[in-house]
Amino acid sequence: MAIQINLINGKNIEVTDDTFITAWKYQSSVMASNADHYYLDCIFQGKFEDGKVTEDDEENKLEGLISASDWMTFGKNKNSIKSTAVLGITRE
């Protein structure tokens, strides 16, 4: 299995069963007791296969994770990707 995440800058990220993914969701807490009102919560951390139920829903799982998150990292590339930078997903 290999899925390509196509970004708006023309680059692609290949996601396989062994790709380690970390996803964060933006949170704001105006009730925080300190000045740190803006932060990210980690909503998923693991290999792609950890969040997959069947082969048939691989793309749906990835689409759902991208939709639910604001920032993500894939594999050894530690550059954070904003979820709005994703143009589409293609399966090889």
Res 27 pLDDT > 60: yes
Q: Interior CA angle at 86 toward 51 and 49, to 5°?
A: 15
Res 71 pLDDT > 90: yes
Our count of domains for the chain comes to 1
Short-list 2, 34, 9, CA closest to 85: 9
pLDDT band at 55 (very low <50, low <70, confident <90, very high): low
Range of the domain at 60: 3-91
pLDDT band at 82 (very low <50, low <70, confident <90, very high): very high
Which residues, including other chains, have CB under 8 Å from residue 23's CB and lie 6 or more apart?
42, 43, 44, 45, 65, 66, 68, 69, 71, 72
Short-list 61, 70, 71, 82, CA closest to 15: 61
What percent of the chain is modeled with pLDDT above 90?
Answer: 37
